[in-house]
Amino acid sequence: MLIPLSHPNITDHERKAVLDVLFTPHLSLGGKLVEFEQAVADQVGAGFGIAVNSGTSGLHLAVKAAGFGPGDEVITTPFSFIASANCLLYEGATPRFVDIDAETYNLDLREIPAAIHSRTRGILPVHVFGRPAPMKEILGLARRYQLTVIEDACEAIGATYRGKDVGGFGQTGVFAFYPNKQITTGEGGMIVTDDAKVASLCRSWRNQGRSENGEWLDHERIGYNYRLSELNCALGLAQLARLDEILDRRQTVAETYSALLKDILPDLHLPAPAAAETSISWFVYVVRLPDEFSREDRDMILTELRKKGIGCRNYFSPIHLQPFYRQKFGYKPGMFKVTERVSERTIALPFYTSLTERDINAVCAALADTVASQRKRLWAVAP
């Protein structure tokens, strides 16, 4: 038995959409790009969409459009994929980490005010695992201190906060469409914004600094090759058309996991329910071991689950403890205690749209057996 950690949900609808592009003369910068950008913007309720070749590229351009640079600090989370902090370093700005809430894993609102000072220019919240961050309070702080907000919604397409899709609250929002995401373009991302100037700049930067109406060999500014092909956009359009179906199925998978694990592992920390007036766009299903288990115990459990054919992973490793960040900024263990305590005990279980109830039962049984075995080893060596 092999149950992978993730698996893209591709149907004949998507295959036909991609194949149709190959019968056209346009494989880049064609009609599918425009359609996909408009479709995602409409989904979010934003004025503009700018497709790029990854969520990381999108975050980079969002940071650039915000004008963050050397000497500027931007408040963000150490519990995320590393791109949400690296995108600031690309422009010479500095991530100012604050700790997370132990239940939601999003930024802890109580920690943000103390981190704001004269060099603070923005807030970059991450909707971790598809769970909306508390945008009302974040936007209130941003208005009070005149800060720019960039939403990292790379894991959260379709999640809603107070009736509105996440990604549409800040100056920019960024989505990602890697194969493990809710919908995929293979590789790809999307910036959304209501600011026409920001949209125009991002389109230019993603296309080698060309103007939107200029000649191919005329470049108005330094840019990048962050373009997304017509094939990717066609795949994205087909996937986006199925977004509600996909999210509903992923919700069912998450609910099935929670119901089973609540009974067989009652002291396991399960994902928190969605907050009032929000909906989760389930990206991954991450559980947390009780505090009696160490990181080494967790890693042993991961190893044993993999031996049993269960795809699994720790999610996330703290950004501030990555070697480059420790070397550059002097971060040490203990500086963000909640992030570290959570990170040491997380296990991402197999999670994807087509995961069957039979496979979920197999995963839960394997996890329960492995946790019980590790607990016995702990008792055996206890003084």
Euclidean distance between CA atoms 228 and 244, whole angstroms:
24
Euclidean distance between CA atoms 301 and 295, whole angstroms:
10
Task: Report yes or no: 13 and 25 within 8 Å, Cβ to Cβ.
Answer: no
Asked if the bond preceding 79 is cis, omega within 30° of 0, the reply is no
Active-site residue, 181 included = yes
Q: Is 3 exposed, middle or buried (0-12, 13-18, 19+ CB in 10 A)?
A: buried
Nearest Cα to 249, choosing from 361, 351, 353, 130? Answer: 353
Euclidean distance between CA atoms 73 and 240, whole angstroms:
35
Cα–Cα distances (Å) from 226 to 81, 167, 201, in that order, read 20, 20, 13
Helix ranges (H only) for 81-156 are 83-89, 112-115, 135-145
Euclidean distance between CA atoms 221 and 224, whole angstroms:
10
Euclidean distance between CA atoms 84 and 128, whole angstroms:
11
Identify the residue whose tokens are 């420790």: 326
User: Which tokens belong to 13?
Assistant: 């609808």
Strands 189-193 and 172-176: antiparallel
Euclidean distance between CA atoms 105 and 103, whole angstroms:
6
Hey, is 146 helix, strand or coil? Answer: coil
Nearest Cα to 283, choosing from 160, 128, 175? Answer: 128
User: Which tokens belong to 165?
Assistant: 């899709």
Residue 201, number of CB atoms within 10 A of its CB: 20
User: 32, 164, 181, 308: which is the annotated catalytic residue?
Assistant: 181
Q: H or E stretch including 236? A: helix 230-241
Residue positions counted in the chain: 383
Q: Read off the amino acid at residue 177.
A: F
User: Which tokens belong to 342?
Assistant: 């959570």
Q: Give catalytic residues, as residue numbers.
A: 181
